[in-house]
Amino acid sequence: MLSELFSPIRIQHMEVKNRLLMSAMSINFGVDENCHVTDQLTEYFATRAKGGVGMILVGGGGVHPSGQELPDLPQMYEDSCIPSLKRMVNRIKEYDVCFGVQLLHGGRQSYLPEKVAPSAIPAPAVVKGPVRALEIEEIKNLAICFGQAARRCREAGFDFIELHGAHGYLINQFLAPNSNIRTDQYGGSFENRTRFLFEVIDAVKHTAGKDYPVGIRINGNDYIENGWELKDTLRIAPLLEKAGVAYIHVSGGVYGSTELTIPSMYTPQGCFIHMAEAVKQVVNVPVITVGRIKDPEMANAVIRDGKADMVALGRSIIADPEYPNKAKSGKASLIRPCVGCCLGCIHAVLAKEPGSCVVNPDVGREYKLAQEKAPEKSQKILVAGAGPSGLAAARMFAQRGHEVKILEKGSEQGGLLALAATAPGREELGDILRFFRNELERLGVAVDYNTPLSSEVLNFFDPDHVILATGSMPDMPVIKGLFKSKMKLITSVDVFTDAHAAGDRVIVLGGGFTGLITAHKLGDMGKEVVVLNRKKSFAEEMSSNDRYYLRERLKACGVVLYKMVTVKSFTDHGVSFTSKGEPVTLEGFDTVVISEKHQPVRDAKHLEKQSRAKFHMIGDAKTPRHLMFCVAEAEEAGRSI
């Protein structure tokens, strides 16, 4: 069915078993104090090699201390790194996979006190701090450093390397006019701005060997003013082929670009395919595409239709290491899906924390879970609540051999997440609910709907353990005039339950994630919406990437945002408040939507005294939090018994 995607391909002397590449990602864990790789990183990759992908790239391989992008990434700039890399390669080579390293110098996008770059121009976003322009001898030395790093990779046994010439890192900084204003041989003309890249390729070929496969990741478009554009990529691509690159991997975006390097769920799937397709028309070497290609059918169509020769998967392979095996065996419905929230992966990493995944709490724990023991005996588990926490817990319990039953007091599963998935652009949140539903069907776990937890149910089922995953509900604040106002008073849950619950002019009280997606839903319906946020920042619980796209959509809908709000009083048809200390009065509104705090629903906790079962509270029933913590806590509960 996916014959094109799972057909082999030859890249120079490498035979790759299928057309799937696990792209390089700066995961920011799995190295020691010297940035030498450890078992944590090795087992992270081994799990994904076992999952059936054709090629794998280690991300963030630093070629020089001045360009270490993040503190906990592998370094390739000293020979002392080779022994640990060899151990990693030997482990991964147990599987039929081509294993490589992406070599990187972060330039002005490095998390260092002093950064170097082609020109002394700071990055437009994310990374702050002084930037020093490189001297000519330093530039030449950095090209040599790329070559030496490639030599170390080859000595360690890696099959190939990829040069990171995209996403606003050092090579891309030389290429782009907005980051390179040099007037010497490395700046100005196209030939001068591309000089460093070709010197790097020459150094790699000279040091690691002409027969060592060298791929290049390059932007099709920087998506920023005066940046590198597709016409530049089409111009350089044949030159790269002539220089001997093994493949061209086409991506897009830099820090601060209008289309982000790691786009969120608001961006169409396959968002960068068109650029790879264009590059493929001007070269004969394999071209790799990337950009939210979640669906195996879409990936297969890319190959079938000749738009690219390979498909790179990043977050999808983080979310489910078995993605390739499941797709190949016709079990795509069982793939645990990336939902494009960007929270556990890029957001955590840019905060200099270890990378993780909202839907896959196992990320970074693979080396520990390999020693996990099965339960000594099967137990009876009753899960109250079919929201994401309850579903995740039930799945884990069932996988570990326990007898599981789910009770849901409503008529549908999914809880508040199912409502959030109806917000414009956030439909992919429903993908994880579909995954849980398919998994529970596979595992034979039944859900009893319209059945709240009761003493009668407890007596009938007689469980050993009860998991309270009963969720949360909006909390009503006490604000002067709120309950005396003539405006309609509803909650965000009301809005998502009944799209017409709100009037035409709406005040949303709350600027967190729920408040903003509520405002977006209303604004998208053509309603006039203002948001009052009593905090300093909007939607702090969202990733910056996801929040960026949502904020842009709110602008397009004409939603007005106020922050640092202190409400003086609600009136009959409006509100009086200060925003950042400035007084504001709004009148002529017909609806107030409460979308601030949530309070746990724990009504069933009193039943613990009536049962021999041990009760456990998880998810929002414990403390209202983000989905990532709820899923992680649920799966941990499932492993604890």
- Burial of residue 490 (CB within 10 Å: 0-12, 13-18, 19+) is buried
Give me the amino acid identity at 418: A
Q: What is the pLDDT of residue 372?
A: 83
Tell which wins on pLDDT, 608 or 299: 299
* 3 part of a folded domain: no
> pLDDT, tens digit, for every residue of 217-233?
999 999 999 999 999 99
**What DSSP designation does 322 have?**
T
Give the per-residue pLDDT at 214.
98
- For 289, phi then psi, to 5°, come to -115, 165
- 556 Cβ neighbours under 8 A, 6+ residues apart: none
Which among 280, 278, 222, 225 has a CA at the least distance from the CA of 251? 222
Does 21 map to a domain?
Answer: yes
Q: Comparing 604 with 151, which gets the higher pLDDT?
A: 151
Structure-token pair, residue 138: 């330093």
Domain for residue 469, yes or no?
yes
- pLDDT bucket at 371, cuts 50 / 70 / 90: confident
Is residue 1 a part of any domain in this protein? no
> What mean pLDDT comes out for the span 35-59?
98
What are 383-400's pLDDT values in tens digits?
A: 999 999 999 999 999 999
Does the active-site annotation cover 449? Answer: no
> How many domains, the chain?
3
Same domain, 235 and 320: yes
Model confidence pLDDT, tens digit, residues 548-569: 999 999 999 999 999 999 999 9
pLDDT at 441: 96
Please indicate, yes or no, if residue 2 is contained in any of the structural domains.
Answer: no
Q: Is the pLDDT of residue 238 over 80?
A: yes
Q: 139 phi and psi, to 5 degrees?
A: -60, -45
Same domain flag for 292 and 416: no
In a domain, 534, yes or no: yes
- Are 541 and 571 found together in one domain? yes
The pLDDT value given to residue 361: 95
* CA distances to 50, 246, 273, 298, 300 from 324, in Å: 10, 23, 20, 13, 12
My answer on whether 315 and 411 are in the same domain is: no
What are the angstrom distances between the C-alpha of 364 and each of 15, 45, 356, 446, 568? Answer: 29, 10, 7, 31, 48
Q: Is the domain of 582 the same as that of 530?
A: yes
State residue 548's pLDDT score.
96
CATH number of the domain enclosing 61: 3.20.20.70
Domain hosting residue 362, numbered range: 9-368
Residue ranges of the alpha helices (H) in 425-543? 429-443, 455-461, 492-497, 513-524
| 1, pLDDT greater than 80 | no
The span from the CA of 485 to the CA of 472, in Å, is 26
Q: How many CB atoms lie within 10 A of CB 448?
A: 15
Encoding tokens for residue 40?
Answer: 């944590």
Tell me the backbone φ, ψ of residue 234, rounded to 5 degrees: -65, -25
Beta partners for residue 53, in sequence order: none
- 56 and 167 belong to one structural domain: yes
Identify the domain boundary among 368, 401, 433. 368
Catalytic residue among 77, 169, 223, 548: 169
The residue out of 596, 613, 630 marking a domain boundary is 596
Q: Is residue 256 located within the same domain as residue 203?
A: yes
| Per-residue pLDDT at 374 | 85
| Judgement on whether residues 430 and 480 belong to the same structural domain of the protein | no
Predicted pLDDT of residue 626: 87
The DSSP code sequence of 529-540 is: EEEE--SSSS-T
| pLDDT at residue number 373 | 84
- pLDDT value of position 297: 97
At which of 317, 349, 368 does a domain end?
Answer: 368
> What string of DSSP letters covers 263-284?
--TTSPTTTTHHHHHHHHTT-S
Residue 296 scores a pLDDT above 90: yes
The pLDDT of residue 425 is 97
CATH number at residue 540: 3.50.50.60
Structural domain includes residue 267: yes
Q: Are strands 472-474 and 598-600 parallel, antiparallel or unpaired?
A: antiparallel
pLDDT grade, residue 456 (50/70/90)?
very high
Q: Is the pLDDT of residue 636 over 90?
A: yes
DSSP annotation string for 31-93: B-TTS-B-HHHHHHHHHHHHTT-SEEEEEEEESSGGG--STTS-B-SSGGGHHHHHHHHHHHT
What length does the chain have?
641
* 89 and 142 within one domain: yes
Residue type, 353: E
Query: Mean pLDDT score of the chain, rounded to an integer?
Result: 96
Q: Mean pLDDT, to the nearest integer, of 187-199?
A: 98
Q: What is the CATH number of the domain that holds 616?
A: 3.40.50.720
What average pLDDT does the segment 168-178 reach?
Answer: 98
pLDDT at 65: 96
Question: What pTM, to 2 d.p., does this model score?
Answer: 0.95
Q: Look at residue 537 in the predicted model and tell me its pLDDT.
A: 96
Q: In what helix (H) or strand (E) does residue 315 lie, and over which residues does it extend?
A: helix 315-319
The closest of 344, 401, 353, 406 to 378, measured between CA atoms, is: 401
Q: Are residues 588 and 613 in the same domain?
A: no
* CA distances, 83 to each of 59, 156, 535 (Å): 18, 7, 50
Residues 490, 469 share a domain: no
Q: Are residues 174 and 307 in the same domain?
A: yes
Residue 88 has pLDDT above 90, yes or no: yes
Residue 449 domain flag: yes
The per-residue pLDDT for range 579-635, each reduced to its tens digit, is 999 999 999 999 999 999 999 999 999 999 989 999 999 999 999 988 999 999 999
Provide mean pLDDT across the span 178-184: 98
Q: How far is Cα 226 from Cα 204, in angstroms, rounded to an integer?
A: 29
Q: What amino acid is encoded at 328 in this protein?
A: K
